[in-house]
Amino acid sequence: MTDSTSFSIAGQLDIICRHKLAALCAVAVGVGLTVLAVVALPRFYGSSATLVVQRTAVPSAYIDFSQKTSTTPSKVEDRLERLSRAALSRGNLIQLVERYQLYPADLHSGVAPSLIAEKIAKSVSVVVPGMIMQGAPVMWERTLPPDSFVVTFEYFDPVLARRVSSDIANLFIDENQRQQTQDAEATTKLLDDQVSATLARIKLLDERIRVLKERYRGSLPEDLESNRRAVSSLRAQLQGIDVALVGVDGKGTVSVAGEKLPKSPADELPALKTQLADLRALYSDDYPDVRAVKAQIAALESETSRSALPAAAMTASAQEQRLIPEKSSIESQINDLEAKIARIPAHEQEFSRLVDDRTALTAQYHLLLDSLLAAQMYREVVEKGKGDRLVLLGPVTLPTQPDFPKSSQVCAVGAAITLLFALTLPYVLYFTDTSFKTPGEFHEEYGVSVLATIPEFGEISGSRAGIFGGVSFAILVFVAGACALLAYAHSLI
């Protein structure tokens, strides 16, 4: 292995020592830029406001709206994105810019307020606290109560940062109240429309059921038993007529359905007169029973004189002529009832579908009505300001220490970069230098052995020029870095 390729600590130190001036200049530039960063960078103070959801004081037994509808999210994480977009809208941020004259350099330079509002939006952070590890043995505890979040605004003026953070917290509170009212009204309207539509469908089904009952009257499921009883009764009447048509009893009176037809007035007069004679033997003519029998006799005599052919004295031929049409009518009624009974299953299926649909719609209507009543009650609670509210958990913080930049962090980063630059620069200069540094390099280049070398006495010739060049380079790097740093600091303000 040649000298040019061997690695040793002495060789590395020799490389650094050859360019120690460049390394010292790099250290000077790094320290200067670090100090400038600590001094020149604007300090931003973060003011935080902690908001927590205060649940409604109305018992859930009276208002169970959260379980009946899912329109309003119950967890703060679920609605925080929507709430943040509304509270941190461009219009609200522009009002903050105009109210507190935020970022005066941009305002004086004529930057549009909308662009400044975007800068404010980048300075606002909304964080939902999580869980942190506390104590020993290991256990997880919440840093803040559930359903809470922290709004932080960073600005180079701590007093203004606190005022703006307080106003942003109030924007969240007002927007939460507005969104809850809006959601409650929208939900109430939606449920009211659904209740009205369901009720209209129920009325339409009722009308269809009514029309169906009119159309299928007598052949509906509830008519089955009455139709069967009517058929049985008509069959019994038909059987009685058939028996009556067979013949006449011994007294010349035609029987119908096992019962004798009523006697004629002429047949009843003798019996009434005999009864009147018996009563007169016992009572006077003023006795009520005597007068009643006399009235009956007078009525029968009058009826006998008006009718030449009494109904009870009809001949068997006349009775037969009357019973045959009656038999045909009863048979027709039986056939009609049996046809209705045969159509009942088909009508029952059609009728049952409508009834089932109405039952389902009625159940849905009652559920929607309960939800509507709960939504109306919830809306009233929200309008009175007694719903779920956002409240400040303690005062808005007034920052005393800047959140950015942290001097210790800037110094640590500057030291690390300075050290890396100071150690890297000698190697860059060494490997970009084309002069011969060892006898081996000369021998490899020309094939001539070196007999002797002059010991290194430092930079004898041109030392002033080297020093001037190194210092000039360091100044140039420092000025460039300072300009970039100052431009960055100005962009932050």
What does the block give as tokens for 191? 């449920």
> How many whole angstroms from its chain centre is CA 180?
13
What is residue 203's predicted lDDT score, i.e. its pLDDT? 93
Residue 390 three-state SS: strand
What is residue 72's predicted lDDT score, i.e. its pLDDT? 47
Strands (E), 261-393: 389-392
pTM: 0.57
Rounded to the nearest integer, the mean pLDDT of the chain is 75
CA–CA distance, 98 with 96 (Å, rounded to integer) = 5
> How many whole angstroms from its chain centre is CA 481?
54
CA–CA distance, 117 with 336 (Å, rounded to integer) = 87
Q: Judging by beta carbons within 10 Å of its beta carbon (0-12, 13-18, 19+), is residue 332 exposed, middle or buried?
A: exposed
Q: Do the Cβ atoms of 152 and 124 come closer than 8 Å?
A: yes
Amino acid letter for position 391: V
Of 188 and 281, which is predicted with more confidence? 188
Of 188 and 441, which is predicted with more confidence? 188
Q: How do residues 329-358 score in pLDDT, each as one tens digit?
A: 888 888 888 888 888 888 888 888 888 999
CA–CA distance, 46 with 161 (Å, rounded to integer) = 7
Provide the b/e sequence for 254-284 (b: ≥16 CB within 10 Å). bbbeeeebeebbebbbeebeeebeebeeeee
Determine which of 91-100, 201-210, 274-283, 462-471 has the lowest per-residue pLDDT on average. 462-471
What is residue 315's predicted lDDT score, i.e. its pLDDT? 54
Q: Do the Cβ atoms of 23 and 338 come closer than 8 Å?
A: no
Q: Any idea which residue has 């299928």 for tokens?
A: 216
Confidence of residue 368 (pLDDT cuts 50, 70, 90): very high
pLDDT for 48 beyond 80? yes
Beta pairing class for 45-54 and 148-155: antiparallel
